[in-house]
Amino acid sequence: MAQGNRPIYNVRAKTGRKDGEGKDIFMTVGAAWPFERGDGLNVRINSLPIGFDGQLMLVPPKDD
């Protein structure tokens, strides 16, 4: 896994909570990198929120 490189996606998990507008709150729990050869992604999960419902999203990292 190309962990030294910037991931192409962040992995986000639904927390089971809502914000003040009633929208679901997600937290970043990991990252994903492309395979060195072939199609696919390596995904690393570092943590999961309490109340995790099984839903994950892959989203591009925001530019710093």
* 21 found inside a domain: yes
Residue 46 inside a domain? The answer is: yes
Question: Which of 56, 64, 63, 61 is closest to 29 using CA atoms?
Answer: 56
- 44 domain-assigned: yes
pLDDT in tens, 8-60: 999 999 888 899 999 998 999 999 999 989 899 999 999 988 878 888 999 99
Choice between 63 and 5, residue whose per-residue pLDDT is larger? 5
In a domain, 50, yes or no: yes
Q: What pLDDT is attached to residue 4?
A: 59
- E strands in the chain: 9-18, 24-34, 41-45, 56-59
Instruction: Enter the tokens of residue 52.
Output: 């995790």
Asked whether the predicted pLDDT for residue 1 surpasses 60, the reply is no
> How many domains are there within the chain?
1
pLDDT at 61: 87
pTM equals: 0.78
Look at residue 2 and tell me if it is in a domain: no
Report if residue 15 sits inside a domain.
yes
